[in-house]
Structure 1
Amino acid sequence: MLFKYFLFSIFVLSTRLLPIQAAYSCDPAACVAPNCFCASTDPPGNIPIDQVPQFFVLTFDDAIQADSMKAVNALIGGRKNPNGCPITTTYFTQTMYTDFGMVTDWYAAGHEVADHTMTHPNLPGEVEITGNKLALHAFSGIPYKKITGFRAPYLNYSIGMLQTLAKLGFTYDSSITASPGDTYWPYTLDFGVANECWTSICDAAVKLPGFFEFPMYNVLGDNNVEYSMDPMLSGDPEVVEKWLVSNFDRHIQNKKAPFGLYLHPAQLVPQAGRPDPGPQITHYNNFLQYALSKPNVYAVTYSQVLAWMKNPVPASQLKDHPAFKCDVPKLGTEICNGLDDNSNGNIDEGAKQQCNLPTASFSTCYNCPSDIPSPGDPTPKRVSQNRFEVSDSCDLLYWDPIVGKCLCQDMSCAFTDLSSVNGTSTSGNSGSGGSSGSGANGNSTNPGQASNAWKVESESRVAIGVIGVIISLICGTLV
């Protein structure tokens, strides 16, 4: 087991041994907010540093299913931000092994759903990226324009991938790691990539106006070794908790760049052959309690951070910022939208359909598919036609899929989604009836497969890391 931890450490170290630092240069006179942001350690807005909020971004990767949600909820619990709203997080969601009904619930709770491809390939192409959006819209009801972020599986980003994301209208990528020496606030790629990155990737010639890179801020551990995802796997949880506290303090005592904690929930699910995740969860919770108890610390989504950057206000005014409100629709009658609309303590009771396929089962509010969504067919033909797909003029929170009606009654919830994927719409598969399906709380089958997907990811990182160290040793760059 210690050898596994050693290999994981080697991977993270190696990601810093072979970087090319691009000749990054950004002209502040030509790069003006809110459409352009130079890479900078300084927060935007010229707000006195003691009045700048400290943002905490807690992210999760891979499938959303019953086991992963149990692990996630063990961390976020009933935690709230200083404005009284529940903390929010960003989930980079792959569609394989995902329970689409749970994605609806996650979005309805105020969290962000971001793109992590369909099948978690090593080098994602356009069909994997667009297929994710299409499937999450068709079977979870997530509006296209709300799926604005992306993280590459295994963090294997490329120039072509960044260009594809910008072409498809994504707002940001979060696949590039940042060291303590380049802890920039999120920045647009108008003038290229500023952070350290792999040879041939970090190139000032990659210029994507208005497209954000939201760096993944590494955790600095003992002996100046850096760690990116799942830091508790890198050592004794009690020791790693101290690393997290130290790194968080460094952020909050300097220029307050967002602090990130990046996790795979599958690593926090008990599984044969792996250490008990209980100590990890305990020490993550200890750290979260410490960080979120500090003044003006807000645990929010990536999109909320970017909204603040475009319209920065002092922490004392954040409660009035449009992006940080937490209003919940008061509908009075239960519809299938991931909320307890009639205040009886239950969510979508009797409204979700249960989809039982040969190799997976999941729930949905929007008609079960005849096959598992895949890159070749992200929106398979529906088994039934008794539900209506979310309208482009309504958010899923107000959409009744059983009768096909938007319950938004005033401008406060008005909505127009013009962000279709390559002009593709799945409305042709929308239902035409109004009868409800059988109610069920969906559970994706094969939860171990999602965990195995993470295992493959970890092993791939280790392999890449070992190769990196070997090359570095040959080049004489290991320090």
Structure 2
Amino acid sequence: MNKFHCKFIVFALAIASISAQSKDKEKEEYECPTNVGNGNFADPVTCRRFYQCVDGYPYLNRCPSGLYFDDIQKFCTFKDEARCGPIPITASPVTEAPIDNAQRCDPAECELPYCFCSKDGANIPKDLSAEEIPQMILLTFDGAVNHNNYDHYMKVLGGKYSNPNGCPIKGTFFISHEYSNYLQIQNLSFTGNEIAVETISSQQGLQDKGYEEWVGEMIGMREILRHFANVSNSEINGMRAPFLKPGRNTQYKVIEDFGFIYDSSIVVPPNKIPSWPYTLDYKIPHECKSGTCPTKTFPGVWEVPMNSHFVESYEGGICPYLDQCVLHNHDPDEVLEWLQEDFSRYYEQNKAPYMMAFHTNWFQIKELEQGLHKFISWATSLPDVWFVTTTQALQWITDPKRNKELTTFDAWDCRKQSSQTQRPCYIGNKCALAYKSGNITDTRYMETCRDCPNKFPWLGDSEGTGIPGRDNYIYQSKDTSPTEDSESEKRK
């Protein structure tokens, strides 16, 4: 080997060493935001990676092959959907005074079916014992439904798995507008899954916006689902705030005014005993991690909280969405064991509903998807475990039944229920539509059984007429019982 080759090898090794040191230094120098709390944050260098901050310590993670970190949605997604970060957060002025007039729970004055509370959120409805009630599991899916995830969802909800009464397990979808396929959403609703709303734009900072902005986002999304997925307003009972940032009292006033039954946006800190859903007649029975929870009373409005997922060793971290815990290096059996340990905290204690919340990216990692199927197969073998929609869970809570009574519980009997959503068409209309955001004009695509609109549906124009500000929503409250239908119509 000549001197040139030796020098070249030494130079290459030096470059590699410097590069490695640079990467180590980059990881060491990253500091978790001090005023935000736990969560996922964009890598300043590349969109293919992100940091998960747990108690102030940054854990570097890579997105699965082909996916990129979206710094708005805070998870890995497809390149054409990802908004690379770091994206600076501009705080909006708070639009309401932080008035705190909610009182602590008074069980003597709070009775089912219209009110439910407990001092710490851990009490079982009607003071039943855990041994005599079902363990409910709530599968929830956030964001757009499209060809990237629909088949994965159908592998779970397509009839492969059944509840103890023989009915297929079902889930709840909190739909956001962009990139959604409304033919597929219509089919999910037609086959018995619950459709709920997130928002149209999934904008950051919505928690600090005013009443009209929340109405436009929530009711506009409900109208888009009604018009393009043929899901009636009376079947859309719940909502979830973007990034799990509730809109203080404003969001809940919209929920109350426009006849929603429940919200599912509030995260419960990691507690050894999980929290049951509760009504907002009283102060929430746990710490508000987001800092934007309601402080006033909203009688009869239900909160279905997101209990934090974790195992005793805290391996994998703490997360409200399961895909935000770091399980990417586990094989399917290890994923199963992690889920079983997390689940046992509910099943072996107060049997509070076990909410399994997902984004698309969980299903892009085959080991995670396989581990989930192993868990569902195991859980459905237990005689007292039921996979139900969020509304079905509230139907049980308002009218609790013991295990021996569930075979005749109409709310969970698929033979006694039928969706109001009409059967979807076989071939939908594929629409390429003009879309404008600020000074940028683009094309957005959507599929629906309805005729294609003139423009991409958006805030103020939920039917895509091309007339900005066309929507004018008139509120109509409804009975807060989840067994009752409602109709909140848009008048123009």
Q: Give the structure-1-normalised TM-score.
A: 0.69
Match of 1:263 among 330, 355, 358: 358
CA contact (8 A) 2:259 2:486 kept: no
Distance 1:42 1:194 in 2: 11
Q: Counterpart of 1:337?
A: 422
Does 2:212 match 1:147? no
Distance 1:121 1:301 in 2: 26
Q: Counterpart of 1:322?
A: 410
Q: Residue type of the partner of 1:210?
A: G
Distance 1:251 1:133 in 2: 33
Q: Residue type of the partner of 1:70?
A: D
Q: Counterpart of 2:74?
A: none
CA contact (8 A) 1:72 1:265 kept: no
Distance 2:170 2:406 in 1: 15
Give 3-state SS (helix, strand or coil) of 2:279's partner: strand
Structure-2 change in CA distance of 1:338 and 1:68 (3 Å): farther
Max Rg structure: 2
The offset of 1:284, in angstroms, is: 1.5
Structure-2 change in CA distance of 1:232 and 1:123 (3 Å): closer
Give 3-state SS (helix, strand or coil) of 1:227's partner: coil
CA contact (8 A) 1:219 1:228 kept: yes
CA contact (8 A) 1:94 1:119 kept: yes
Distance 2:55 2:450 in 1: 42
Q: Counterpart of 2:296?
A: 206
Distance 2:309 2:179 in 1: 30
Within-5 A mapping of 1:392-411? none
Distance 1:287 1:244 in 2: 7
The offset of 1:330, in angstroms, is: 9.9
Distance 2:356 2:374 in 1: 13
Q: Counterpart of 1:75?
A: 156
Give 3-state SS (helix, strand or coil) of 1:110's partner: coil
Distance 2:285 2:103 in 1: 6
Deviations 1:82-140 (A, max 9, x none): 11101010000012111111111000110000111012112332211111011100111
Q: Counterpart of 2:394?
A: 306
Q: Residue type of the partner of 1:145?
A: S
Q: Counterpart of 2:112?
A: 33
Structure-2 change in CA distance of 1:115 and 1:315 (3 Å): same
Percent identical among aligned pairs is: 27
Deviations 1:349-403 (A, max 9, x none): 36x4343435233332333211111012111239xxxxxxxxxxxxxxxxxxxxx
Match of 2:340 among 221, 227, 245: 245
Aligned residues: 367
Q: Counterpart of 2:426?
A: 349
Moved more, 322-331 or 359-368: 322-331
CA contact (8 A) 1:132 1:378 kept: yes
Give 3-state SS (helix, strand or coil) of 1:162's partner: helix
Q: CA RMSD in A?
A: 3.3
The offset of 1:24, in angstroms, is: 6.2
Give 3-state SS (helix, strand or coil) of 1:64's partner: coil
Give 3-state SS (helix, strand or coil) of 1:338's partner: coil
Q: Counterpart of 1:50?
A: 131
CA contact (8 A) 2:323 2:361 kept: no
Distance 1:330 1:264 in 2: 27
The offset of 1:317, in angstroms, is: 1.8
The offset of 1:9, in angstroms, is: 4.5
Give 3-state SS (helix, strand or coil) of 2:461's partner: coil
Does 2:133 match 1:61? no
Q: Counterpart of 2:184?
A: 102
Structure-2 change in CA distance of 1:109 and 1:99 (3 Å): same
Match of 1:136 among 225, 229, 241: 225
Distance 1:109 1:27 in 2: 40
Match of 2:447 among 360, 363, 379: 363
Q: Residue type of the partner of 2:153?
A: V
Distance 2:274 2:246 in 1: 19
Q: Which has the higher helix share?
A: 1
Give 3-state SS (helix, strand or coil) of 1:298's partner: strand
Structure-2 change in CA distance of 1:232 and 1:153 (3 Å): closer
Within-5 A mapping of 1:421-460? 421=489, 424-425=490-491
Distance 2:326 2:350 in 1: 27
Give 3-state SS (helix, strand or coil) of 2:414's partner: coil
Q: Counterpart of 2:68?
A: none
Q: Counterpart of 1:470?
A: none
Q: Give the structure-2-normalised TM-score.
A: 0.68
Give 3-state SS (helix, strand or coil) of 2:149's partner: helix
Give 3-state SS (helix, strand or coil) of 1:281's partner: helix
Distance 1:319 1:12 in 2: 48
Structure-2 change in CA distance of 1:156 and 1:197 (3 Å): same
CA contact (8 A) 1:12 1:226 kept: no
CA contact (8 A) 1:192 1:208 kept: no
Match of 2:457 among 373, 393, 408: 373
Unaligned runs of 5+ in 1: 15-20, 270-276, 340-347, 383-414, 427-479
Does 2:272 match 1:187? no
Q: Counterpart of 2:471?
A: none
Distance 2:240 2:105 in 1: 24
Q: Residue type of the partner of 1:144?
A: N
CA contact (8 A) 2:138 2:171 kept: yes
Deviations 1:65-85 (A, max 9, x none): 122112212334411111110
Q: Which has the higher contact order (CA 8 A, sep 6+)?
A: 1
Distance 2:166 2:132 in 1: 19
Unaligned runs of 5+ in 2: 1-22, 28-39, 41-48, 59-99, 207-213, 435-442, 467-482
